[in-house]
Amino acid sequence: MPIRIQNDLPAKEILENENIFVMDEDRAVHQDIRPLKVVILNVMPLKEETELQLLRLLSNSPLQTDVTFLTMKSHVSVNTSASHLNKFYVYFDEIKNHKFDGLIITGAPVEQIEFEEVDYWQELCEIMEWSKTNVTSTFHICWGAQAGLYYHFGLKKKMLDKKLSGIYRHRVMKRREPLVRGFDDEFYAPHSRYTEVSAEDIHNCPDLKVLAESDEAGVFLCMAGDGRQIFVTGHPEYDRYTLDYEYKRDTARNLNPDIPVNYYPDNNPENKPLLLWRSHSMNLYSNWLNYYVYQVTPYEL
């Protein structure tokens, strides 16, 4: 799919070098079609890395998508330059009177903090409430999924005994659901978190449908029955070296992390990690855009 982004977004050159069709603003205005409008609320600390990961996955579709990056006014980012944020991001006040086909809410490294103690929690609640009427489908990732399950359905998170980190095997639970169309019976996906929403709580919520689950990592994929809200507890957007960076960062901080599960060949951090999840991750995003956004969104937003 041609992704429409700002002409000078740093991720643009990297994506083009990967042979991904990126359409700049100049070319997009000459196409007589209505692109899907997707807003990405990026609350990850390394925003440029997350931009690249998500745009790479959103590219796997013939649908043209116009991407807007959203940041929090109530939080000061210390890992991304102010110039980058000022140039490529908007605040919620600037878009709250608009409607969008899709919304992605990323994870954030704040899962060990109570939701109400996160400095931008009230602003996030306002955005999640706004999404009910202004967005066709919202895609929540990792902590974003935990926050969405808590806000919309009252499901609480709980601390794990230790950080869940690695590549875990999952099984598809409801094959007829379009979101997992084309998936194998079992597939791999990355997880990196200290907390979880228990599988029992999710299964017992009558408004939620579980689509994929792992014996080790719990529920991976669930959604509200109509697909307006989709929750992914892992990080399918991670690239090959993201867990490697996190592991070596935590090691340098003397946090004594466990080696990520099923990640390094021979469990040796000196070996190049195997990329085992890319095809299913692309399939997941493509299915979301096609079946839960494009097929149901109104032509006139």
Q: pLDDT of 69-107, one tens digit each?
A: 999 998 888 778 889 888 999 999 999 999 999 999 999
Residue 151 pLDDT: 98
Catalytic residue from among 222, 235, 246, 280: 235
Residue 177 pLDDT: 95
The two tokens of residue 76 are 């000061």
**Confidence grade of residue 227 (pLDDT, cut at 50, 70, 90):** very high
Per-residue pLDDT tens over the stretch 49-75: 999 999 999 987 778 899 999 999 988
Q: How many CB atoms lie within 10 A of CB 174?
A: 14
At 186, which helix (H) or strand (E)?
Answer: strand 186-196
Residue 30 pLDDT: 42
Residue 215 pLDDT: 97
At 39, which helix (H) or strand (E)?
Answer: strand 36-41
Q: Whole-prediction pTM value?
A: 0.89
Sign of CA dihedral 228, 232, 233, 239: negative
Q: How far is CA 7 from the centre of its chain?
A: 23
Residue 213 designated active-site: no
**Confidence grade of residue 28 (pLDDT, cut at 50, 70, 90):** very low
**Confidence grade of residue 22 (pLDDT, cut at 50, 70, 90):** low
The two tokens of residue 26 are 């100049």
Catalytic residue from among 142, 170, 246, 280: 142
Residue 1 and residue 21 in contact, taking contact as beta carbons nearer than 8 Å = yes
Judge whether residue 32 has pLDDT over 60: no
Catalytic residue from among 48, 49, 51, 237: 237
Residue 98 designated active-site: no
Residue 15 and residue 52 in contact, taking contact as beta carbons nearer than 8 Å = yes
Mean pLDDT of the chain: 91
Q: Kindly state the average pLDDT of the residues 28-56.
A: 84
Residue 205 designated active-site: no
Residue 27 pLDDT: 47
Angstrom distance (rounded) from CA 80 to CA 245: 17
